[in-house]
């Protein structure tokens, strides 16, 4: 159904570290960075490749490279925490930003910033640690799709069934990669059991 929940033991270990309320900002950032690297690998594992001819120190051979250039688009602010691992793994990746702010009363998101690279023909990876209601992710992907990428994928740390359902309704062609699928949302639209406010815990602002 387009939802990929990591089965890697390290993903489970790191997600548990992020969930623990006793985990401080420094350890939280370390765990978030490693987990983002793991998710980046999993989210790109099935991307198409094309053959190329290279010459090794021994002989000529046919290898494979990614068939499409990549773009990564973090949803601000928490999505920024997932950006650096993608840059390390894919140095030539193009980067865009979408700023969406959630109203804590209505749980609806409004856009305050959008800066996207040329996306035509690229594989676009939208990154946001928490897929809660799915409203922010859906709006961001609307903006990304308007630029004509070859494909779009969403990469999150923790997802709620409500957010997954919203994404599958609004963007059934977008595959979702995450480390955990949680129970659901509470009356404030926070993920349960979740891990609290990702941005606040990441930056020590909670």
Q: In this predicted model, what pLDDT tens digit does every residue of 48-85 receive, in sequence order? A: 999 999 999 999 999 999 999 999 999 987 899 899 99
Among residues 27, 49, 106, 205, which one is catalytic? Answer: 106
Confidence of residue 34 (pLDDT cuts 50, 70, 90): very high
User: What are the residue boundaries of the structural domains of the chain, listed by start?
Assistant: 3-203
Type and span of the H or E element at 151: strand 151-155
Among residues 29, 77, 102, 170, which one is catalytic? Answer: 102
Question: Residue with structure tokens 């109203």?
Answer: 103
Enter the pTM of the model.
0.91
Among residues 20, 142, 173, 200, which one is catalytic? Answer: 200
62 is annotated as an active-site residue: no
Instruction: Return the CATH architecture of domain 3-203.
Output: 3-Layer(aba) Sandwich (3.40)
- Omega before 77 cis (within 30°)? yes
Q: Rounded to whole angstroms, how far apart are CA atoms 100 and 94?
A: 20
133 is annotated as an active-site residue: no
- Looking only at the bridges linking them, the beta strands covering 97-102 and 109-115 are antiparallel
Q: Check pLDDT > 70 for residue 27.
A: yes
Are the C-beta atoms of 38 and 14 separated by less than 8 Å? yes
Per-residue DSSP letters for 70-97? EEEEEEETGGGGGHHHHHHH-TT-EE-E
Question: What is the model's pLDDT at position 101?
Answer: 73
Q: In this predicted model, what pLDDT tens digit does every residue of 116-170 receive, in sequence order? A: 999 999 999 999 999 999 999 999 999 999 999 999 999 999 999 999 999 999 9
Q: Rounded to whole angstroms, how far apart are CA atoms 157 and 128?
A: 8
106 is annotated as an active-site residue: yes
Give the burial class of 46: count Cβ atoms within 10 A of its Cβ; 0-12 exposed, 13-18 middle, 19 or more buried: exposed
């Amino acid at each position: 159904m387009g939802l990929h929940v990591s089965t890697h033991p390290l993903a489970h270990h790191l997600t548990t570290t992020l969930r623990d309320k006793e985990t401080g900002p420094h350890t939280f950032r370390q765990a978030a960075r490693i987990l983002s690297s793991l998710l980046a690998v999993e989210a790109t594992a099935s991307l198409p490749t094309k053959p190329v001819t290279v010459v090794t120190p021994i002989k000529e051979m046919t290898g494979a490279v990614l068939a499409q250039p990549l773009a990564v688009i973090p949803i601000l602010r928490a999505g920024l925490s997932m950006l650096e691992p993608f840059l390390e793994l894919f140095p030539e990746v193009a980067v865009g930003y979408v700023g969406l702010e959630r109203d804590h009363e209505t749980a609806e998101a409004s856009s305050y910033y959008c800066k996207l690279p040329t996306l035509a023909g690229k594989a676009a990876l939208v990154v946001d640690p928490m897929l809660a209601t799915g409203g922010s992710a859906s709006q961001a992907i609307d903006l990304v799709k308007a630029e004509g990428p070859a494909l779009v994928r969403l990469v999150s740390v923790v997802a709620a069934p409500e957010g997954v359902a919203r994404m599958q309704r609004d963007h059934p062609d977008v595959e979702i990669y995450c480390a955990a699928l949680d129970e659901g949302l509470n009356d404030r639209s926070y993920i349960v059991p979740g891990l609290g406010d990702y941005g606040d815990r990441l930056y020590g602002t909670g």
